[in-house]
Structure 1
Amino acid sequence: MAFRPSLYCRAIWLCIAMGSAVAAETRPPNILFLFADDVGQEVLECYGGQSYPTPHLNELARTGMKFRHAYSMPVCHPSRLTLMSGKYPFRHGKVAWGDYPQAAEELTFSRRLQRAGYTTYIAGKWQLCLLKDDPLHPKRMGFDQWDLFGWHEGPRYYEPMIYRNGTVREDTIGHYGPDLYQDGLIEFMKANRDRPFLAYYSMAVAHEVTDDLNPPVPHGPFDRYDSYPEMVAEMDRAVGRMVAALEALKLRENTLILFLADNGTPPEIIIRADGSDLIRTPVVSRRNGLDVPGGKKQLTNAGTNVPMIANWRGTIRPGQEVDDLVDFSDIMPTFLELAGASPPSDQVLDGVSFADRLFGTGVSPRAFAYCEEAVLPKPGGVEPDGVSSGMRWVRTQDWKLYRDGRLFHMSEDPTEAYPFHAEQDDSARHAVRQKLVDAFENLGL
């Protein structure tokens, strides 16, 4: 998909049109990227959620832009693979679970932002390698500094195991992980307030604790792990704290805040350990008067239609709810366009920039969103045929086509109860089906 030119001239023109001084903020915007883990739309009050108070996210949406049609992969690693590369998982061939293809390390959005003059930091979850095996992996992927918990190595919440710039920290005893991740983000933004930065908070919440360590990670102060409502409360508190930090640093007008979640809500979480046994509890949320079980791992709306909120004071007009299609491949080209950076000259991205929508000068040009049920090899295990083994779909706002031929009218059948097969198509459905078949063919599928 085509990449569009830099927005510098348009940004300056907008400043003049709004009566701002021409000299004000000629540098590209800072980016505060808040990436939640295992949070579907039904969790947030501003999306109709009724189970959990989310006042800070509500305010971010009220004073910014809420996207109704942002689509992830159904689980976390393929979402992150797409996010970092601007390409769908199947483009990378066989990639082990929790890994990142070495050949693509130079092509991440963080590397490209570095080359555009940004200083970069990430805190929280990595999940693109085991850091004990490759502690400097984030540096090769484009991060100047990082504080990342040891995924499948130790705790992420209470007394977490955190790698700081390649070395395990020794100062986490008695601390709560999310507090430390947020402390690092605030210190980074404070130290870099005078130059463009990417501050990426890859949240631990609202994902359950690591489930494959023996003995299990220790309980928190209530002799159990955090409940899902407690993790949602922490997520919302973190958003409020990050926004307050930007206010204190006087950076709100030159910082894009983008909140996004990596996939839908889990159907259950680990609530405590009984010896080596892990005890789970269901997660069911209320939305617009209906009970919504967690849809993580599913290709349905509950698993892939995630919350996304953009807020940029003075640039994004408050109170907008938009229907533009966005999928995770779009994050990279959008960030690059905002930074005035060039896309990889030798690579074709699946993503398209939605910067026009943020500036209020147009809509996203995306014609369809794509999702796949990636079947990824486990490290050291028997490889399946590759990531192409899973089911996949393409969709518009109203229609979704699975590769097995099932067509759903999503605006009338959001739970996918009534599939249309080709032999049932009238002329209108046939035209829709052909459009989506063409989209698969354009992807080479």
Structure 2
Amino acid sequence: MKRVVITGLGAVTPLGNNIQDFWQNAVAGKSAAATITRFDPTKFKTRFACEVKDFNPAEYLERNEIKRSDLFTQYALYAAAQAMEDSGLDLSKMDPFDVGVIWGSGQGGMGTFEEEVTKYVQNGFEPRFSPFFVPKLIVNMASGMISMKYGLQGMNYTTVSACATSNTSIMDAFNYIRMGKAKAFVTGGSEAPITPASMGGFSALKAMSTNNDHPEAASRPFDVDRDGFVMGEGAGALILEEYEHAKARGAHIYAEMVGAAMTADAFHMTATHPEGIGAIKAMELALEEAQLNPDKVNYLNVHATSTPVGDPSEVTAVQKVFGEKPLLNISATKSMTGHLLGAAGAAESILCIKAITDNIVPPTINTVNLDPAIPKDVRIITGESIDAQVDVAMTNSFGFGGHNATLIFKKI
């Protein structure tokens, strides 16, 4: 099997629209949650979210790309452009069929769908739809437009596994490079779910926090007063590359990817398994593939969305894998970014990679009163980031439908 390394990173997040800002604000423990500005949320039960701020797609996108793409695709193109630039890949020296795109999104062009259907109703049900309606809507268009922008003719497709989506994308890219099917991939995920229908739908599920008076403190994983997740948006992009190819061209290598696994809970449409059965197996399989004992993992970025049921079940799973008193440092960075749905895994993978390069563990913020259901022996880093040796980092993502996806990165 080939070795796989990360040679480029890009991000559009509620904490910053580039890697430096994203990482610095995460390390500083900043909350991105505030009252929604994208639409009037007055009548909604949840009136806040973690929005991307000061986003100017024209910095990386051509005018026709902006016109023809939904916001989730604009986020994807923007993050991918940063990652490609960061990687230093010289595509003129590569076979275009050796470089592919595997991208993920849970909802795709939700904003486009709402806009076009609303116009249909307002126009008296006259079917005057935009010719860009379907191309902007479909979930695979982000991967397609990334490939068109750079002339990448290798494998190109989109994964959808709810909130595990971008971990699934990264895992697939990892495996194809390992098998010698490609030299490099642009991979990750993007999401633009801060729309009336999306916010209303998740609110109807009673999945989101309603702490409208203090949105900045609403995402509080593991806290006894947590009442649901905070919606986020954005994109994370990674360039995965075959190690020998990266080494030969003198690329800057952030870290090596050494393990990945996916399982299913086969339990419930929206709830995680209370005993974390699927999560346990995903972590065990990823460790097995990485040929690592659990005690070699220094940092775990948990899925922990700040929901009453999900947080304790993940801790249960972690204890089963790492022991009753896990030695690894744990943080839930959704406390700062909110939940980016299909883009969450990519953003959190970037934080894991930066933790490895900088030997810093970002914090879990807003966790003031630890839920008694969370054992105190579990080392959750709260309040402020810490300096710590991080040689191996793991990240978990779990999605509606019972999808579990775990990735492992290692210092090189």
TM range (shorter): 0.3 to 0.5
When Rg is computed on C-alpha atoms for both structures, the one with the higher figure is: 1
TM-score (norm 1): 0.30
Which one has a larger percent helix, Structure 1 or Structure 2? 2
